[in-house]
Amino acid sequence: MLNLQMNVLFICADGVVMKKLTLLIFLLCSFGIFSQELALSDFDGTTSLSGTAKVNGENNSSDFVKHLDGLSNKKLVKYLRKEGIADKLIEKGNEYFDKMWYAESARIFDLVLEKTNAEHTLTLLSRAGDSHYYTGNLEKSYKWYNELYQRYQDQMQEDTFFKYTQTLKGTGKYRRAAALTKILRQKRDQPLKELKRLEPGTWKGATNVKIKNLGINSKYSDFSPMFYKGSDIVYASAKDSSVLTTRRYRWTNQPFLDLYVSKRKNEEGDLFSPEKFSKKINTKYHEASLAFSPDQKTIYFTRNNYGKRLKRGKNGINHLKIYRSQFLGGEWTDAVELPFNGDNYSTGHPTISKDGKKMYFVSDRPGGFGGTDIYVVDIYENDTYSEPKNLGRTVNTDAKEMFPYITDDALYFSSNRAMGFGGLDVYKSDGSGEVFSVGINLGKPINSNRDDFSYIIDASGEQGYFASNRKGGKGDDDIYSFKYTLNLNAISGSVKDITTGDPINEAKIRLFNQNGTLQNEALADSTGKYTFKYLDPVTGYTLVARKEGFEKDSLSVKTKDNEQVEISQFLKKKLIEKEVDVDDIFEPENVYFHFDSHQITANAAKELDKLIAVLKENTELSLKIESHTDAIGSKSYNKYLSDKRAKSTRSYLISKGIDPSRIISAIGYGEDRLLNNCSDGTPCGPGQHRLNRRSEFYIVPE
């Protein structure tokens, strides 16, 4: 697939996915990762570029590699032990690496690191890890990144550190990846508390998902499927369908990407009879990631910046561009590039809205938030376009977003943002036009510990396709079909005045699970109605409805087996409205904890019982809990301990009959809010430290 990077665009999956952004914004990176990250680099990697110098260089490099391949293991070891050979190999590996011939540089660096006595320097280990990372071999890239981390942790560049965390996830080492992600955020001065927001809370819209690896997949990279003419699928592939000598992309040593079309043959989404899509569109370089106009008579697709020859930007990189072709007179016209492309950045991965009036695409153009961002333009009737607009922070992050697919009410895309399941994960943002919600991870099995991308879904919302370089596939990137059993578990409610029966609009409804944890919130519409979707089957929930001027109503409801439950809640108007002076009611004392403990002590329980009595007597009051520690120990552990103290305090109140909905928050602040000067390194007595081991309370009137 194609990928975009700041300097280079890739198209592969990020695991390599990240790389996707380099060469082909999405075309080919190793076609696994590479599919997403293909680099549109200065070195297009073909074996038939014009220019004798480059051709000769390729022939020499091929002879050199063949020479090594032709040696038996015994002769190879003997050859590698010769004086100066290791240095010569490193020089050759660096030459390949600088040309972005990563498949070949990976082989050379492996020989040096595994079979010679050459020093394992920071540069050598870093380039060995990068070479495998950019060709999708996460196991081998992890090996060299891990040694790099062990030897040169303090000298690792931030982007290498990030790629190391991606290989950890890609090889199933999730805990280690999470720990290093925290370290990376600290290096960037990013607050750790935001990690909770980044954890992969997943979409609950399906109760069952069936996925299937398709028969049309090759041993190379197959990805970016797109619906065409109702029963066909057009997709990108590096499969070798030529009867003549095939030109190869040296980044991955695979053929260049072309567009293919295949027919769907059954309800499971199987595809058959693949053939090249159009001679007018496929060229000797990369074509991938496409979209059609609603009438299917215009195709938009991603291609190398290519006219009579490859064109390069200021930095010598051959970037990706979006091209358009129309179906006239029974054939596709010569493709023309769109006006918002640029020679110095990549643009690709188009998707068209159902009314044909908007195009969403990916670019690493200046001014974005991350490596690559998703943008939108208006499509006008005279084949002109508005200025590109970034979709903003609800969709784009400081990582890479790519492979968008737009439906009537949602935008699907892939991202390698922190705390996902693997490299690229598929996300869904509800909305339309230019306004979308924060993306939610689609979860497993759509997402894996590798790269998952180029997701499309049909109008029913139940079936579609995506690509992945997960283990068990046939090639680098494979296309999978999927079919959902939709999650219909929902609670649909209405809020009414108990006296008049009139609907109460803008009532606030909070949904709690059986443990008293807040799950969701909603506002009743103008008819007093609301709905909570995607709930668990046969599960108990509590709904609390509130409206200013009314007494709250709490109702326990149990969901059924994949169907909607309808309820009504009735609120009673308060007879007397009176101002509550919180200070006159009660000023709770702090609750203290023993050293390194979150257990409620007997003395603490007495103070909490006083607080509980006040809350029960004054049902219009709510509560905030803030818990703290002393400065003994590490800051990270103290943050963890204070969070446990806040939760144990909250649990005690609930166990004594306090409605969970009245506890607005329970937050641990670690050692950040000391009551005295007993910070790290300051000598203090036990009594002074004890003052900091506390839970504090704030009473809040409705």
pLDDT tens column, 326-385: 999 999 999 999 999 999 999 999 999 999 999 999 999 999 998 899 999 999 988 899
Confidence of residue 252 (pLDDT cuts 50, 70, 90): low
Largest CA distance in the chain: 96
Pairing mode, strands 621-627 and 663-668: parallel
pLDDT of residue 313: 73
Contacts of 315 (CB under 8 A, 6+ apart): 7, 42, 344
pLDDT of 642 higher than 90: yes
* Number of helices followed by number of strands (H, E) in the chain: 14, 35
CA 108 – CA 443 distance, rounded (Å):
38
pLDDT of residue 483: 95
How many CB atoms lie under 10 A from the CB of residue 594? Answer: 11
CB-CB contact of 544 with 509 (8 Å):
yes
CA 204 – CA 45 distance, rounded (Å):
43
Contacts of 311 (CB under 8 A, 6+ apart): 305, 318, 343
| pLDDT tens track for 575-622 | 654 444 444 445 567 788 998 899 999 888 988 988 888 888 888 888
pLDDT of 59 higher than 80: no
Picking from 448, 32, 45, the residue whose alpha carbon sits closest to that of residue 221 is 32
pTM (two decimals) = 0.63
In our burial notation (b when 16+ CB lie closer than 10 A, e otherwise), range 49-77 reads beeeebeeebeebeebbeeeeeeeeeeee
Q: Collapse the DSSP code of 673 into the 3-class scheme (helix H, G, I; strand E, B; otherwise coil) and give the result.
A: coil
Residue 316, token pair as written in the block:
């010598």
| pLDDT tens track for 218-247 | 998 999 999 999 889 999 998 865 444 445
pLDDT of residue 47: 31
Length of the chain: 702
**Residue written as tokens 């394992």?**
120
Residue 84, token pair as written in the block:
């100066």
pLDDT of residue 632: 87
CA 416 – CA 187 distance, rounded (Å):
19
Q: What are φ and ψ of residue 6, in 5° steps? A: -60, -45
pLDDT of 126 higher than 80: yes
| pLDDT tens track for 141-178 | 999 999 999 999 888 888 888 888 888 877 878 778 77
Confidence of residue 103 (pLDDT cuts 50, 70, 90): confident
pLDDT of 210 higher than 90: yes
pLDDT of 9 higher than 60: no
Domains along the chain? 29-198 (1.25.40.10), 206-486 (2.120.10.30), 490-571 (2.60.40.1120), 582-701 (3.30.1330.60)
| pLDDT tens track for 414-441 | 998 877 888 899 999 999 999 898 889 9
pLDDT of residue 65: 56
State the chain's mean pLDDT as an integer: 82
Q: Is the backbone of residue 172 left (phi > 0), alpha (psi -120 to 50) or beta?
A: left
Q: What are φ and ψ of residue 576, in 5° steps? A: -125, 120
pLDDT of 54 higher than 60: no
Picking from 158, 87, 151, 79, the residue whose alpha carbon sits closest to that of residue 122 is 151
pLDDT of residue 398: 85
The residue that leads in pLDDT, 26 or 347, is: 347
Cα angle value 624/626/632 (rounded, 5°): 175
pLDDT of residue 21: 38
| pLDDT tens track for 530-544 | 999 999 999 999 999
* H/E run at residue 234: strand 232-237
pLDDT of residue 350: 98
In DSSP terms, which residues pair with 351 in a beta bridge? 360
Does residue 445 have a cis peptide bond before it, meaning omega lies within 30 degrees of 0? Answer: yes
| pLDDT tens track for 171-208 | 878 778 777 877 766 665 554 444 444 444 678 888 89
- The beta strands (E) that lie in 341-424 are given as 347-352, 358-363, 373-378, 389-390, 401-406, 410-415
Chain-centroid distance of CA 593 in Å reads 40
CA 424 – CA 29 distance, rounded (Å):
13
Taken in order 262, 267, 269, 272, the sign of the CA dihedral is: negative
**Residue written as tokens 């750790």?**
192
Confidence of residue 551 (pLDDT cuts 50, 70, 90): confident
**Residue written as tokens 């070949």?**
104
Whole-number Cα distances in Å, 198 to 191, 193, 370, 514: 12, 10, 16, 24
CB-CB contact of 674 with 631 (8 Å):
yes
CA 272 – CA 261 distance, rounded (Å):
9
pLDDT of residue 548: 86
Confidence of residue 130 (pLDDT cuts 50, 70, 90): very high
Picking from 410, 428, 402, the residue whose alpha carbon sits closest to that of residue 353 is 410
CB-CB contact of 247 with 48 (8 Å):
yes
CA 103 – CA 470 distance, rounded (Å):
19
